[in-house]
Structure 1
Amino acid sequence: MRIAMVTDAWTPQRNGVVRVLSSLISGLDSMGHTVKVMEPSAFASIPCPSYPEIPLALFPKSKLAAMLDEFRPDAVHLATEGPLGWAGRAWCLRHKLPFTTAYHTKFPEYVQARTKVPLSWPYAVMRRFHGKAAATLCPSPSVFRELRQRGFGGAVEWSHGVDSETFRPQGKDFFDLPRPIFMYVGRVAVEKNLPAFLGLDLPGTKVVVGDGPARAGLMKCFPDVHFRIVDGDAQLSAAFSAADVFVFPSLTDTFGLVMLEALASGVPVAAFPVTGPLDVIGDAPVGILSHDLKAAALQALHLDPGECRRHAARFSWVRVASEFLGHLRPIMR
């Protein structure tokens, strides 16, 4: 099958959406499918406000239409709701062709956090974008239920996976810091709710691995926290493995792929009992979910690393790719 993957998020960006899409595409390639990624580097662009590392394609409609016409896809998937996603949607609607979408990010909550507009406004925009899709893929059961309740009639359950060969237990010597090490990995941005973790009175050391618009401000506010940036998956996987507990303070993630990467590395998770952690951890003995994040972090120290690794193995990218194919709507010519 020839699959057009239209996305505003792609390399060299470092975020969960790019990780999911690149892993998914690798799986589809290995199954014999041809995937054409249509992403911002092929277009004139401007930096996204408050996220300058994310380019937004300028007036991509005509060029993207030409790319889709030339590729002649058997199926079209719109992975994001940015300028390219809207341009891909317009092409499909103009030609009366089916397409699927995905709900990777809680943009309404992010917009509200920055602008204080009523949450109903950005959700109305999201319903418009996804409303014509044959299916909107939801990365977790919690997101599926939330979107159904908000009137997204095409929402379907999907899942995410983890590369358990890259992310694996490999010792604790990557950091030479007092233990225990409580670590967060991911974008350093306001929506990640990092002060809820960084302000905790915990023994040992708190470490943040990642970059983002809030990093400089948080470094000033929390001088006792160690902030690191790693280069590539080899260093990233070593950093995961070196932690004693992975702390995930976000209240707005749709899944939280980094929790799976920590678990595959044999590191238990401490998080709030919200969408994402409830889906990745649930009631499995691999993490502690509590509104008291400090208590959760301390209790997680006593969980079995081997059980964490076995739990992560249930989330296979092969299964994710197969589910994705099942949700696609082939174009009948």
Structure 2
Amino acid sequence: MRLLIVTDAWHPQVNGVVRTLDTVAREAAAAGHTVGVISPDLFRSIPMPGYGEIRLALVPRRRLARMIEHFAPDAIHIATEGPLGWAARRYCLKRGLPFTTAYHTRFPEYVKARFGVPLPITYAIVRRFHRPSRALMVATRTLHGELAARGFGNLRAWSRGVDLERFTPGPKDLLPDLPRPIFTYVGRLAVEKNIDAFLALDLPGSKLVVGDGPEMARLKAAYPGVHFAGARHGDDLVAHFRAGDVFVFPSKTDTFGLVMLEALACGLPVAAYPVPGPQDVLGPGVGVMDEDLGAACRRALALDPAACRAYALDFTWAATTAQFVGNIAPFEQDWPARGLPAPRHAARIPHQPAEFNRRR
């Protein structure tokens, strides 16, 4: 089918949402579907307050409508609750078109952490956004239960995967000057990630932080003994995973925690709090969850790296994509606008360039 994904999170952002959507789009295209993506870089945009690297589309409604009609999808998935997500939702409701959504981010908790907005207010807005969705996809059973208790409906499971060919165990010779053991954090440096809880710990060896974000300058000033590697990508990122001995996941607000799977695939045991996300992802022998994060870090040193790798092998992107496609709600009628002339900016088809070029 022709599947259109509308998302406020896309490249050049580096986060679990973008990695998930990009990989699922590739896997779906490989399975024979035509996948289009509408994202903020196709519109005039402004930086999101507090997250300058995240762009928010300005007044996207009319151009978005033209892009949707030009792509002529068989199904629409609205991935995020940002300006593009709301505009796509309005478009579908006005025309009686079914659509699906996903709960990637604990948006109410993030808004409370950064701006102090009470949770009931933000949850009411987010609940309204997802109410018409034919399937609200969630990554874990814990999140399913939480959202159901808050009045969300049409919940469907959509797990996550890891690139098992890229994220593999390997040599630990990247940072020879750092005393071992090396406790590693990989991810955004933002207040909701609770990174201070890790960096303030009294642990043996070294602490390694890989990533960038609005908290970078403050954290570097507050913890001069920590090695900050900045943002890393591709094989360089994998090498930094491999360099560690334990992966530390201090967040209490993530819906899943894709980086935990990447760490496990590289043979790193995980230390985390016993909260949703780690409780759903980690299994016996591959992670330690404790309210005392320092104790979890020290105990994780005794876990077997080979067991971590073996555990990660069950999380494939092919299975994740099949689950996603199974949740999609195709239109019952044929699309009425096929053959329209291309708008100034068409929805990209990043994984089928020949089709994209023909339609432009």
CA offsets 1:74-112 (integer angstroms, 9 cap, x no match):
000001100000011011101101000000000000000
Matched, 1:226 2:227: yes
- Secondary structure class of the residue paired with 2:68: helix
- State the match for 1:42 in structure 2: 42
- Secondary structure class of the residue paired with 2:179: coil
- State the match for 1:28 in structure 2: 28
- Secondary structure class of the residue paired with 1:37: strand
Asked which structure has the greater RCO (Cα within 8 Å, sep 6+), the reply is 2
Residues 242-253 of structure 1 aligned to structure 2 (within 5 Å): 242-253=243-254
- State the match for 2:268 in structure 1: 267
CA offsets 1:56-80 (integer angstroms, 9 cap, x no match):
0000011001100111100000011
- State the match for 1:182 in structure 2: 183
Cα distance in 2 between the residues matched to 1:97 and 1:111: 30
Once the two structures are TM-superposed, the CA of residue 160 in structure 1 deviates from its matched residue by: 0.4
Cα distance in 1 between the residues matched to 2:171 and 2:146: 39
Residues 47-62 of structure 1 aligned to structure 2 (within 5 Å): 47-62=47-62
Which stretch shows the higher mean deviation, 128-137 or 169-178?
169-178
- State the match for 2:322 in structure 1: 322
Residues 165-180 of structure 1 aligned to structure 2 (within 5 Å): 165-176=165-176, 177-180=178-181
- State the match for 1:257 in structure 2: 258
Q: Which residue identity does 2:36 align to in structure 1?
A: K
Cα distance in 1 between the residues matched to 2:142 and 2:234: 29
Cα distance in 2 between the residues matched to 1:85 and 1:245: 37
- Secondary structure class of the residue paired with 1:20: helix
Once the two structures are TM-superposed, the CA of residue 170 in structure 1 deviates from its matched residue by: 1.3
- Secondary structure class of the residue paired with 1:223: coil
Once the two structures are TM-superposed, the CA of residue 227 in structure 1 deviates from its matched residue by: 0.5
TM-score computed with the length of structure 2 as normaliser: 0.91
Once the two structures are TM-superposed, the CA of residue 194 in structure 1 deviates from its matched residue by: 0.4
CA offsets 1:212-247 (integer angstroms, 9 cap, x no match):
000100111111111112442110011111110000
Cα distance in 2 between the residues matched to 1:225 and 1:37: 39
- Secondary structure class of the residue paired with 1:22: helix
Cα distance in 1 between the residues matched to 2:231 and 2:91: 39
Q: How many residues align?
A: 332
CA offsets 1:98-147 (integer angstroms, 9 cap, x no match):
00000000000000001212110110010011001001000111111111
Residues 45-84 of structure 1 aligned to structure 2 (within 5 Å): 45-84=45-84
Residues 192-211 of structure 1 aligned to structure 2 (within 5 Å): 192-211=193-212
Q: Which residue identity does 1:201 align to in structure 2?
A: D
- State the match for 1:306 in structure 2: 306
CA offsets 1:253-281 (integer angstroms, 9 cap, x no match):
00000000000000000000101100110
Q: Which residue identity does 1:190 align to in structure 2?
A: V
CA offsets 1:4-42 (integer angstroms, 9 cap, x no match):
100000011111110111111111011011110000111
Contact 2:212–2:231, Cα closer than 8 Å, also in 1: no
Unmatched tracts of structure 1, length 5 or more = none
Which stretch shows the higher mean deviation, 186-195 or 172-181?
172-181
Matched, 1:116 2:116: yes
- State the match for 2:340 in structure 1: none
Q: Which residue identity does 1:290 align to in structure 2?
A: D
Cα distance in 2 between the residues matched to 1:166 and 1:10: 21
Q: Which residue identity does 2:239 align to in structure 1?
A: A
Runs of 4+ deviating beyond 4 Å: none
Unmatched tracts of structure 2, length 5 or more = 334-360
Q: Which residue identity does 1:116 align to in structure 2?
A: G
Q: Which residue identity does 1:298 align to in structure 2?
A: R
Once the two structures are TM-superposed, the CA of residue 290 in structure 1 deviates from its matched residue by: 0.5
- Secondary structure class of the residue paired with 2:271: strand
Q: CA-atom RMSD, angstroms? A: 0.7
- Secondary structure class of the residue paired with 1:246: strand
- Secondary structure class of the residue paired with 2:12: coil
- State the match for 1:236 in structure 2: 237
